[in-house]
């Protein structure tokens, strides 16, 4: 039998074998985060742009190439995150503010809802060109890697909380351990005496027993609310009103809570957009009353619900 005849005769068998092997191969997996880094160094005198680009690359690689959990993520499942740094200080010894933003997709839509949008004004760190960014859980290596690891776990924890009740608990505990270790370095933002709008109190609020009911409601907000809105809009509004009720309780317990403020600042446009389409006037009125009680500074925005 000639080779062409043999190949033609047995081609279906080879094709089946080839496809079977492909299907049995392990799927490509990626790390958890897809983090974009933006750096504004206008406040640093005489800094070479090469140093800033090197810093940007090092931070991006640290966030995106490290495995932060034991779970496998597909590339399209990675959590979108942005760290925008505004630097000041001197070359090598920086002070900064950092805007931390992360989002997750809403099912059956092209819309992404924010998980966090937090301005941390107390970033201080040392960095020289080519410096390796070392981090070991349980020990303090540098303030920069502690800050980055802290927010990696905060973002992952919030993402997991949005898919299951208290799903992010373990990652918040890891962030807490990082904070406790870093506090020994004496830099601002890591302890309770540095003000109420700090990363210390952001995590303290998240983990507080006072806010447990509200934090559990975050799952309802995302999974039973936003994720089902296109299919079950009336049920979504019921869940969103319950979240607002729990948010009001949390606000009344701690009116200065940075966790509550951050949440309402992010989610108010979503509450307004969804609740203003309610067919039941009493739902609109309750949403308006609750939002106004929690966030009275935005009366004009919430007045859309009374029209």
Please report whether residue 46 resides in a domain: yes
For residue 121, give its domain range: 33-169
Rounded to whole angstroms, the Cα distance separating 233 from 225 reads 8
Please report whether residue 218 resides in a domain: yes
Total domains, the chain: 2
Query: 134 and 260: one domain?
Result: no
Query: 138 and 236: one domain?
Result: no
Query: 143 and 224: one domain?
Result: no
Inter-CA distances, 251 with 205, 240, 244, 264, Å: 11, 16, 10, 10
Inter-CA distances, 40 with 83, 97, 128, 241, Å: 11, 10, 17, 40
Cβ proximity of 77 and 34 under 8 Å: no
User: SS in 3 state form for the chain?
Assistant: CCHHHHHHHHHHHHHHHHHHHHHHCCCCCECCEEEEEEEEEEEECCCCHHHHHHHHHHHHHHHHHCCCCCCCECHHHCEEEEEEEEEEEECCEEEEEEEEEEEEECCCCCCEEEEEEEEEEEEEEECCCCCCCCCCCCCCCCHHHHHHHHHHHHHHHHHHHCCCCCCCHHHHHHHHHHHHHHHHHCCCCCCHHHCCCCHHHHHHHHHCHHHHHHHHHHHHHHHHHHHHCCCCHHHHHHHHHHHHHHHHHHHHHCCCCHHHHHHHHHHHHHHHHHHCCCCCHHHHHHHHHHHHHHCHHHHHHHHHHHC
Query: 139 and 235: one domain?
Result: no
Please report whether residue 206 resides in a domain: no
Query: 157 and 280: one domain?
Result: no
Which of 153, 169, 185 lies at the terminal end of a domain, its last residue?
169
Rounded to whole angstroms, the Cα distance separating 100 from 84 reads 7
Please report whether residue 193 resides in a domain: no
Please report whether residue 204 resides in a domain: no
Query: 152 and 53: one domain?
Result: yes
pLDDT along the chain (307 residues), means of 10: 49 44 43 95 92 96 94 88 96 95 94 96 93 90 96 97 94 96 89 91 94 91 94 93 94 94 95 94 96 94 92
* Phi, psi of 122, deg, nearest 5: -115, 60
Q: What is the pLDDT of residue 27?
A: 41
Please report whether residue 280 resides in a domain: yes
Please report whether residue 174 resides in a domain: no
Cβ proximity of 104 and 79 under 8 Å: yes
Locate 215 and state its tokens: 């934090």
Which of 169, 203, 237 lies at the terminal end of a domain, its last residue?
169
Q: What is the pLDDT of residue 187?
A: 86
Q: What is the pLDDT of residue 22?
A: 37
Query: 228 and 165: one domain?
Result: no
**Virtual CA dihedral for 210, 216, 217, 223, nearest 10 degrees?**
160
Q: What is the pLDDT of residue 75?
A: 84
Please report whether residue 27 resides in a domain: no
Q: What is the pLDDT of residue 164?
A: 94
Which of 106, 137, 169 lies at the terminal end of a domain, its last residue?
169
- The upper half-sphere exposure of residue 96, i.e. CA atoms within 13 Å in the direction of its Cβ, equals 27
Query: 161 and 275: one domain?
Result: no
Q: What is the pLDDT of residue 6?
A: 46
Query: 41 and 124: one domain?
Result: yes
Query: 58 and 132: one domain?
Result: yes
Q: What is the pTM of this model?
A: 0.88
Query: 231 and 163: one domain?
Result: no
Query: 145 and 236: one domain?
Result: no
């Amino acid at each position: 039998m000639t080779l062409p005849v043999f190949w033609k005769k047995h081609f279906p068998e080879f094709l089946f074998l080839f496809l079977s092997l492909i299907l049995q191969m392990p799927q490509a997996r990626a790390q958890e985060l897809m983090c974009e880094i933006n750096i504004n160094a206008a406040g640093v005198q005489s800094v070479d742009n090469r140093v800033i680009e090197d810093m940007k690359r090092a931070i991006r690689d640290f966030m995106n190439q490290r495995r932060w959990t034991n779970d496998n993520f597909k590339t399209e499942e990675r959590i979108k995150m942005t760290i925008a740094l505004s630097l000041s200080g001197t070359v090598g010894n920086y002070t900064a503010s950092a805007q931390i933003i992360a989002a997750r997709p809403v099912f059956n839509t092209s819309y992404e809802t924010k998980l966090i949008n937090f301005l941390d004004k107390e970033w201080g760190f040392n960095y020289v060109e080519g410096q390796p960014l070392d981090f070991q859980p349980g020990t303090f290596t540098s303030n920069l890697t502690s800050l980055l690891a802290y927010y990696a776990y905060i973002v992952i924890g919030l993402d997991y909380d949005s898919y299951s009740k208290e799903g992010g608990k373990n990652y918040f505990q890891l962030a807490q351990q990082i904070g406790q270790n870093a506090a020994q370095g004496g830099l601002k933002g890591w302890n309770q005496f540095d003000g109420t709008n700090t990363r210390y109190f952001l995590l303290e609020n998240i983990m507080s027993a006072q806010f447990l009911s509200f934090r559990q409601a975050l799952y309802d907000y995302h999974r039973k609310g936003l994720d089902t809105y296109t299919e079950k809009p009336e049920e979504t509004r019921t869940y969103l009103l319950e979240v607002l009720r729990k948010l009001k309780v949390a606000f009344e317990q701690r009116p200065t809570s940075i966790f509550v403020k951050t949440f309402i600042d992010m989610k108010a446009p979503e509450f307004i957009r969804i609740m203003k389409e309610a067919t039941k006037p009493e739902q609109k009125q309750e949403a308006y009353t609750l939002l106004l009680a929690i966030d009275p500074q935005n009366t004009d925005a919430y007045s859309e619900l009374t029209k």
